Amino acid sequence: MKILLGTNNDGKLREMRAILASLPAELVSPAELGLDIYVEEEGSTYSENATLKAGAYSRASGLITLADDSGLAVDCLRGEPGVYSKRYLPRPDATDAERRAYLLQKLSDKPRPWRAHFHCTVAVVVPGGTVRLFDGDCFGEVIPEERGQNGFGYDPIFLLRDINRTMAELSMEEKNHVSHRARALRAAYPALVRLIDEGS
């Protein structure tokens, strides 16, 4: 059985493939199916956007599809950028580095520590059927200097306080033990196994 990972974000795709590697199913990406669709994230919650993405990819492919919506919420910015993390800088061509710089500029007059957490909601959609949602969080702190080369997005400025390393200083294997996405995917795992059993 094939399960579609409904994302065009290479960083997310790599992490999802690694976390779900032991599923008894073939994990495929939109590109591998020749699917070139862009889903507008017009929802105001992670759940709405994850459902929109998984639903669109599932309709286009006819496959059981998993998609996530995720973001970084900073306490002293009342949860910003949150669900808008990807669009924090409204320019469509903005880079991850520019978004990190923009966030740091917004934080520059706020007292530290800049407590924050990543959140991820995973939606699992069965074609013509159910939607199931799973959540995961990872708590830490935004720091003003970039550290580490791994990961993507806000990883270089997100510090895991108890180990004093940024998310970008972790190997993918280490990140996949602690990340919001890993926690949400691990919560989804038993439901995915059941769907695969039912379909095979």
Q: At closest approach, how far in Å is the CB of 68 from ligand IMP?
A: 6
Between 181 and 183, whose beta carbon lies closer to ligand IMP?
Answer: 181
Closest to 178 in 3D by CA, of 165, 191, 192 = 165
Between 135 and 196, whose beta carbon lies closer to ligand IMP?
Answer: 135
Which residues bind to ligand IMP, rule: CB under 6 A?
9, 41, 68-72, 85-86, 99, 118, 151-155, 167, 179, 181
Q: At closest approach, how far in Å is the CB of 58 from ligand IMP?
A: 17
Catalytic residue from among 69, 109, 155, 197: 69
Residue 123 vs residues 100, 131, 135, 191: alpha-carbon distances, Å: 27, 7, 9, 11
Between 132 and 181, whose beta carbon lies closer to ligand IMP?
Answer: 181
With beta carbons less than 8 A apart as the criterion, state whether 97 and 83 touch: no
Tokens of 156: 């270089």
Q: Known catalytic residue: 69? A: yes
Q: At closest approach, how far in Å is the CB of 1 from ligand IMP?
A: 25
Between 65 and 179, whose beta carbon lies closer to ligand IMP?
Answer: 179
Q: At closest approach, how far in Å is the CB of 100 from ligand IMP?
A: 9
Residue nearest to ligand IMP (CB): 153
Spatial distance between the Cα atoms of 127 and 66, rounded to a whole number of angstroms: 11
With beta carbons less than 8 A apart as the criterion, state whether 118 and 158 touch: yes
Residue 17 vs residues 2, 21, 22, 23: alpha-carbon distances, Å: 13, 6, 9, 10
Judged by DSSP in three states, 165 sits in strand
Catalytic residues: 69
